[in-house]
Amino acid sequence: MNAPETDIQTVAELDQRDPVPSQRDKFAIPLQDDGSDTIYLCGNSLGLQPLASRSYVDELMDAWSKHGVHGHFEGTSPWYPYHELFRDTGARLVGAVTPDASLPGGEVVMMNSLTANLHLLLTSFYRPSGSRRRILMESPAFPSDIYCVQSHLQARGMDPQSDLIIVGPREDEDCIRNEDILEAIDRAGETLATIMLGGVNFLTGQVLDMPSIVHAGHQAGALVGFDLAHAVGNIQLHLHDWEVDFAAWCSYKYLNAGPGAIAGLFVHAKHGRDVSIPRFGGWWGNDPQSRFRMHLEDQFIPVAGAEGWQLSNPSILAMAPLRASLDLFDSIGMEALQERSQRLTNYLRNQLDANSSGRWRVITPNDAQGCQLSIITQGDARTAFEDITKQGVIADFRPPNVIRVAPVPLYNTFAECHRFVSILSDALET
Ligand SMILES: Cc1ncc(COP(=O)(O)O)c(C=O)c1O
């Protein structure tokens, strides 16, 4: 085996001495056929199961069997206010304010799925008027975001070609330069209605300079929102202070809430307080004071805040596992987690750089990284990916040639990063 430079003892010491210890023993780690742990570096796609999530799901199953419909208001965690359990933890996670008398629905709500939330947000925050009718997004963008924006433009009678501005990397570069985004915003000027970008790029792992983009967008008179699928639980966010207008994310990646888990949505307080903002209505977004007057209340009066964008009574079963994961985030805090994340990712990056011998390169910018590193290999990347998979690495492959790996600070270790580089090295040797 082609051992990377760092010796195993040093790696073990790194794991033992890290000031923010791994929470690995609180997660179910998928096993290989021989019973040993896989090297799971795929939290950027689907986070691992927190062991405590089972008891939150069991609690619901028990309450349902015991109380039937009364479970909405009875039992240890009644379902009617279940979404409120995430008000504080959700706000801390993304740097939002918590509900108060002027904003009973807060800035954050967990609801629906990511693409559905993006559509709901564009309904409110893409308000073309006169020549201000264009949306700016990035390339490469996740396909669902592209389809979302294109279909939204179409549904609103706009032109998905001329009303969409796309900013991508320069020729022969892998990532988008922030200056190019700012320049495109400036150039679009008064034609720009809305900016919607991935806060952390799904393919390259590049973290965008969100505050400068919000500032430039507002200077141009546009509203600015982010898809935070790859950012939430990965990097520290200050959505309120950055004055982000709107954002949405999923909870199955770094938030470890399980496949298709409930998603999240952020609406800045300055918009949340304005209940006249056009939106699609549903009873769960209605003022809770009158929600249960049913047909006696035929006027939709949204509750002020993000909760005013809710439509349906939430999928409680899809929410339950999120409690277990957010308990962990809360017990450590995003700041400490991000510090550990950067130690792990920098270690992995250094190992990759030191052992590459021209066989691969990391395209994630080192001054704009979260925990995901995206690697382009020489030769047949798919075969290399299949080889490392056989050796017990769980990562993912994005065509044509990108292998994405994410050492997640909650459950990955320095030793795993070390071993991964050995395995990749062997795969590319053969
Ligand atoms: C950046 C990004 N946007 C959108 C989606 C689509 O999410 P969903 O299927 O939950 O709507 C994903 C899923 O991985 C994603 O990574």
pLDDT tens-digit series, residues 326-361:
999 999 999 999 999 999 999 999 999 999 999 999
Mutation to probe ligand 1, out of 42, 118, 144 (largest number of atoms < 8 A from CB): 144
Same domain, 255 and 181: yes
Residue nearest to atom 14 of ligand 1 (CA): 45
Same domain, 319 and 354: no
Same domain, 151 and 223: yes
- Residue 200 Cβ < 6 Å to ligand 1: no
Q: At what angle do helices 414-429 and 8-17 cross, to 10 degrees?
A: 150
pLDDT tens-digit series, residues 147-205:
999 999 999 999 999 999 999 999 999 999 999 999 999 999 999 999 999 999 999 99
Ligand 1 centre distance from Cα of residue 170 (Å): 25
Amino acid at position 77, single letter: S
Residue 295: inside a domain: yes
Same domain, 207 and 78: yes
Same domain, 124 and 135: yes
Pairing label, strands 134-138, 164-167: parallel
Ligand 1 centre distance from Cα of residue 116 (Å): 10
Residue 298: inside a domain: yes
Q: Which of 278, 297, 331 is the last residue of a domain?
A: 331
Question: Where residue 122 sits, what CATH number does that domain have?
Answer: 3.40.640.10
How many CB atoms neighbour CB 85 within 10 A?
17
pTM, entire model: 0.96
**What is the percent of the chain with per-residue pLDDT over 70, rounded to a whole number?**
96
- Residue 369 Cβ < 6 Å to ligand 1: no
- Residue 252 Cβ < 6 Å to ligand 1: no
Ligand 1 centre distance from Cα of residue 411 (Å): 22
Rounded Cα–Cα distance for residues 173 and 169 (Å): 6
By residue range, what is the domain housing residue 152?
Answer: 62-331
Q: Backbone phi, then psi, for 127, in 5-degree steps?
A: -125, 80
CA-114 nearest atom, ligand 1: 11
Same domain, 66 and 36: no
- Residue 381 Cβ < 6 Å to ligand 1: no
Question: In the chain, how many domains are there?
Answer: 2
Per-10-residue mean pLDDT, the chain, length 430: 58 94 96 96 98 97 97 94 94 96 96 98 96 97 96 94 97 96 98 98 97 98 98 98 98 97 98 97 89 72 96 95 95 96 97 94 97 93 93 93 95 97 90
Same domain, 338 and 289: no
Q: Backbone phi, then psi, for 30, in 5-degree steps?
A: -60, 140
Ligand 1 centre distance from Cα of residue 165 (Å): 21
Same domain, 95 and 157: yes
Question: Where residue 29 sits, what CATH number does that domain have?
Answer: 3.90.1150.10
pLDDT in the model for residue 8: 65
Same domain, 318 and 401: no
Ligand 1 centre distance from Cα of residue 355 (Å): 33
pLDDT in the model for residue 167: 98
Same domain, 292 and 342: no
Same domain, 248 and 260: yes
DSSP state of 248: E
- Residue 254 Cβ < 6 Å to ligand 1: no
DSSP one-letter string for 257-311: --TT---EEEE-HHHHT-TTS-----GGGB-HHHHTTGGG--S--BPSSGGGG--
pLDDT in the model for residue 310: 97
Residue 56: inside a domain: no
pLDDT in the model for residue 380: 85
- Residue 413 Cβ < 6 Å to ligand 1: no
Q: What angle do CA 392, 397, 398 make, to 5 degrees?
A: 170
Residue 230: inside a domain: yes
Q: Which of 273, 297, 331 is the last residue of a domain?
A: 331
pLDDT in the model for residue 298: 78
Residue nearest to atom 10 of ligand 1 (CA): 114
Ligand 1 centre distance from Cα of residue 292 (Å): 33
Residue 3: inside a domain: no
DSSP state of 156: T
Mutation to probe ligand 1, out of 110, 117, 200, 250 (largest number of atoms < 8 A from CB): 250
Residue 88: inside a domain: yes
- In angstroms, the Cα distances linking 137 to 89, 142, 158, 182, 184 are 29, 11, 16, 12, 10
Residue 89: inside a domain: yes
Ligand 1 centre distance from Cα of residue 45 (Å): 9
Same domain, 403 and 283: no
The residue among 276, 259, 285 whose CA lies nearest residue 83 is 285
Amino acid at position 27, single letter: F
Residue 49: inside a domain: no
- Residue 113 Cβ < 6 Å to ligand 1: yes
Contacts 24+ apart (CB under 8 A), 79-84: 79/313, 79/316, 82/314, 82/316, 82/319, 83/109, 83/110, 83/111, 83/307, 83/310, 83/314, 83/319
Q: Which of 280, 310, 331 is the last residue of a domain?
A: 331
